[in-house]
Structure 1
Amino acid sequence: MNDVVKYNEGSDPTNRPVIDFLFEEFQQALPTATFKVWHGAPVFFLEDIPVVGYQDHKHGVKVLFWSGKDFSEPGLLGIGKHRAAGITYTEVDAINVEDLRRYLRLSSEIIWDYRQLRSQN
């Protein structure tokens, strides 16, 4: 069984519907992506570069877009010192699917290669 499926199955039952929904949306929007549990959470990669992931938390499911600050989307909050931004979902009905699909499309178009950034420092 895939490690992401195990992660999803072991998630908080309150968050499980959101996690299942996100997993399906991510797979549909990023059909060429690979995915695995990376640093403790499911992450989707395009050409070995992380683009989006989610994490089960006490107060919802946090979604991280590695290049999200460059999407110029008001619904995403900047995270950390690099280009990441995210959003937290607490229930499936609260997910604006149109926005989510746009974020996922942007995550496949705007990709910061953090490997390159590390090698330049």
Structure 2
Amino acid sequence: MSDVEKYNAAASAENSAVIGFLFKEFQQALPTATFKVWHGAPVWFLEDIPVVGYQDHTHGTKVLFWSGKDFSEPGLLGLGKHRAAGITYTDVASINVEDLRRYLRLSTEIIWDYRSLRPTK
């Protein structure tokens, strides 16, 4: 069992369905990505650059897109001083699948390389 599968299995009962759904969507949308638990949460990487991850929280499952501010999507809220943006899902019914899939597609097209702090496209 991978570290991400262990993380998912240990998720709160309230968030386990959302986490399971997100895991499948991420795997489908990012088939060439590697993934691991990084800084305490599952994160997907393209060429060793983090692009998306999720975290089990008391008030839902938080999804973070490392380059999300540059997606120009009103459904994502900017986080921190860099280019990250995210969204919180409280249950599977709260997930707009069309939006999620668009965000995941954008995460493969707009990638900030935080090692050099310049975008690669």
Query: What band does the TM-score fall into relative to the shorter chain?
Result: over 0.9
TM-score if structure 1 supplies the norm length? 0.96
Q: Which residue does the alignment assign to 2:53?
A: 53
How big is the shift at 1:53? 0.2
User: Matched residue of 1:21: which SS?
Assistant: helix
- Which amino acid in structure 2 is aligned with residue 36 of structure 1? K
Q: Deviation string for 1:42-90 (max 9, x for gaps)?
A: 0000000000000000000000000000000000000000000000000
Q: Secondary structure at the match of 2:86?
A: strand
Structure with bigger helix share is: 1
Where does residue 63 of structure 2 map in the other structure?
Answer: 63
CA distance in 1, matches of 2:38, 2:115: 15
- Gaps (5+ residues) in structure 1? none
- Specify the alignment match of 1:75 in structure 2: 75
Specify the code of the residue in structure 2 equivalent to 1:60.
G
Which residue is 1:106 aligned to? 106
Distance in 1 (CA, whole Å) between partners of 2:74 and 2:117 is 25
Letter matched to residue 21 of structure 1: F
In structure 2, C-alpha distance between the alignment counterparts of 1:7 and 1:52, rounded to whole Å: 16
What is the letter of the counterpart of residue 71 of structure 1? F
How far has the Cα of 1:116 moved from its partner? Answer: 1.1
Aligned to 2:12: 12
After TM superposition, the runs of 4+ consecutive aligned structure 1 residues lying more than 6 A away are none
RMSD: 0.9
Helix, strand or coil at the partner of 2:116: helix
Aligned to 1:44: 44
- Of all paired residues, the percent bearing the same amino acid is 82
Distance 1:117 1:21 in 2: 31
Q: Distance in 2 between matches of 1:43 and 1:115?
A: 16
- Number of residues of Structure 1 aligned to a counterpart in Structure 2: 118
Deviation at 1:117, TM superposition (A): 2.3
